[in-house]
């Protein structure tokens, strides 16, 4: 995908669909004037106002009895998606795409092992995915490619009448975030960012407790992505063309905010009653990545081009204030030897919950609950979604089951014509923290306004609903019996 093809996706009728003609610019920001500082235009973009074309929050698309899925990107995340989708009834994987043909063949073997028919193959060129997006029998395009391709692939999917499910982050610039919003609103196609951490077990439990007023009025929340990926990012085989390492050069901020941010945004009703107002961000210097690049370059000429001093700071801290006067603290660190954590802390007027460091803890007043008390709370307040598929998800897998819960919930909503838990405004907002934090870091941690991608509709949008009063009828194949006719309907 060449960068100069971005304009192609902005033109009315791109891909032959013609769906964006007339009114596309109503919600589209101008690109601003890029001054001498490479991030100066972000400040201009953040402060612009826009007009909503159609409110996608709470939008229910027509029911799809059997969801035809096309999966793009079969490297690190894609094969797991193929595996999980094979375990969901009402799904047909009809197309597989990767620029490397051997990856497509490996995915075909996954289908075969589950007793599914082979899918059409799209491979052999950088633009093969565009043909998949234009296929008439695809309802949902599932995107698992490098970050820079997420927005163009999601846009091409939507303008061709398909829903888009895109790995995190959904966009890397404010311009692309707005492009996702305006395309989803104009086409009335869902654009869901695949933020799997919203579907982890403790996050779902605490969200349900928030809905029931267990913690009182929420005041503050914390999230993070603390995951030592230093060796993986410098691996020649982990990320195609070293794309993730390239993301860590020249960009300095919280480049991967959504895993910690998504669950706490849902708890705080961001985009659904409250909005982010402004943020400030600060990064340390780099003490790990450049030294490792230099060490590797001494041993292997391949790494000489990466031996530069322009890596992002190792630890980034970002503070966000909401319109209702609440705060969110985010941290990002993927290059220090710290134990894995997303923190997931929510603090209210009556108590708090905290996931990391383990074990998970809940407190009321000034006292942590003991194990028995907390277990009783969990049993009494487990959300319906976990009751339906939580145990099965642990057997099927995907980061302990949360990936499968996410995929099952997405398919169940599409099959039953229900609104999605994550909409395009969440995808745009959560992703926008990266470029906004870059601007703040580069400007001595000055604050910057956070765009309202709902264009004011947040004040009336309904919170995420975990009651599951509708839907929930999508079946799951029992692990170990995938090739038989025995299936569980739930």
pTM of the model: 0.91
Q: What's the Cα-to-Cα distance from 419 to each of 171, 466, 475, rounded to whole Å?
A: 22, 12, 19
Q: How far is CA 88 from the centre of its chain?
A: 21
Instruction: Supply the angle between the helices 424-442 and 174-187 in degrees, to the nearest 10.
Output: 170
The number of helix segments (H) and strand segments (E) in the chain equals 16, 15
Neighbours of 51 (CB within 10 A): 11
Is the Cβ–Cβ distance between 122 and 97 less than 8 Å?
yes
Predicted confidence (pLDDT) per residue in 347-356, tens digit: 999 999 999 9
* Annotated domain spans of the chain: 198-384+419-459
The predicted pLDDT at position 7 comes to: 45
Is the Cβ–Cβ distance between 65 and 415 less than 8 Å?
yes
Predicted confidence (pLDDT) per residue in 314-351, tens digit: 999 999 999 999 999 999 999 999 999 999 999 999 99
Predicted confidence (pLDDT) per residue in 183-211, tens digit: 999 999 999 999 999 999 999 999 999 99
Look up residue 417 and give its two tokens: 């014509």
Q: Does domain 198-384+419-459 have CATH number 3.40.50.300?
A: no
Torsion angle of alpha carbons 253, 42, 4, 25, nearest 10°?
140
Predicted confidence (pLDDT) per residue in 117-169, tens digit: 999 999 999 999 999 999 999 999 999 999 999 999 999 999 999 999 999 99
Question: CA–CA separation, 203 vs 314, rounded Å?
Answer: 26
């Amino acid at each position: 995908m060449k960068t100069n093809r971005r304009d192609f996706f902005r033109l009315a009728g791109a891909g032959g669909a013609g769906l964006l003609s007339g009114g596309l610019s109503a919600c589209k920001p101008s690109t601003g004037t890029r001054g001498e500082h490479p991030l100066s235009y972000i400040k201009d973009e953040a402060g612009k106002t826009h007009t909503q074309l159609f409110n996608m929050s709470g939008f229910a698309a027509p029911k799809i009895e059997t969801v035809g899925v096309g999966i793009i990107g079969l490297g690190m995340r894609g094969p797991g998606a193929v595996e999980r989708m094979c375990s969901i009834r009402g799904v047909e994987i009809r197309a597989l795409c990767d620029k490397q043909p051997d990856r497509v063949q490996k995915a075909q073997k996954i289908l075969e092992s589950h007793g599914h028919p082979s899918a059409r193959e799209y491979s052999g060129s950088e633009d093969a995915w565009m043909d998949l997006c234009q296929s008439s029998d695809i309802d949902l395009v599932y995107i698992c490619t490098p970050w820079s391709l997420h927005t163009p692939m999601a846009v091409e999917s939507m303008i061709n009448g398909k829903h888009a499910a895109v790995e995190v982050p959904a966009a890397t610039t404010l311009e692309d975030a707005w492009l996702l919003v305006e395309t989803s609103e104009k086409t009335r196609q869902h654009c869901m960012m695949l933020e799997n951490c919203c579907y982890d077990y403790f996050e779902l439990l605490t969200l349900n407790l928030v809905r029931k007023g267990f913690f009182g009025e929420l005041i503050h929340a914390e999230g993070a992505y603390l995951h030592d990926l230093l060796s993986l990012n410098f691996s020649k085989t982990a990320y195609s063309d070293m794309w993730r390492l390239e993301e860590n050069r020249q960009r300095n901020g919280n480049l991967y905010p959504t895993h910690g941010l998504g669950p706490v945004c849902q708890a705080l009703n961001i985009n659904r009653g409250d909005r982010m107002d402004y943020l400030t961000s600060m990064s340390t210097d780099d003490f790990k990545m450049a030294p490792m690049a230099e060490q590797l370059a001494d041993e292997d000429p391949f790494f000489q081009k990466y031996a530069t001093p322009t890596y992002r700071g190792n630890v980034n801290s970002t503070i966000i204030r909401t319109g209702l006067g609440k705060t969110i603290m985010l941290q990002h660190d993927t290059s220090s030897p710290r134990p894995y954590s997303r923190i997931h802390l929510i603090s209210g007027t009556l108590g708090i919950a905290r996931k990391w460091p383990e074990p998970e803890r809940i407190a009321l007043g000034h006292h942590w609950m003991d194990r028995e008390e907390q277990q009783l709370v969990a049993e009494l307040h487990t959300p319906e979604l976990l009751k339906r598929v939580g145990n099965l998800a642990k057997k099927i897998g995907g980061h302990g089951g949360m990936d499968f819960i996410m995929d099952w919930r997405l398919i169940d909503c599409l099959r039953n014509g229900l609104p999605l838990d994550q909409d395009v405004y969440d995808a745009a907002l959560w992703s926008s923290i990266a470029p906004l934090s870059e601007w703040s870091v580069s400007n001595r941690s000055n604050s910057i306004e956070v765009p309202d991608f709902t264009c004011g509709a947040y004040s009336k949008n309904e919170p995420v609903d975990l009651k599951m009063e509708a839907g929930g009828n999508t079946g799951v194949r029992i692990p170990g019996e995938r090739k038989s006719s025995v299936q569980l309907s739930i």
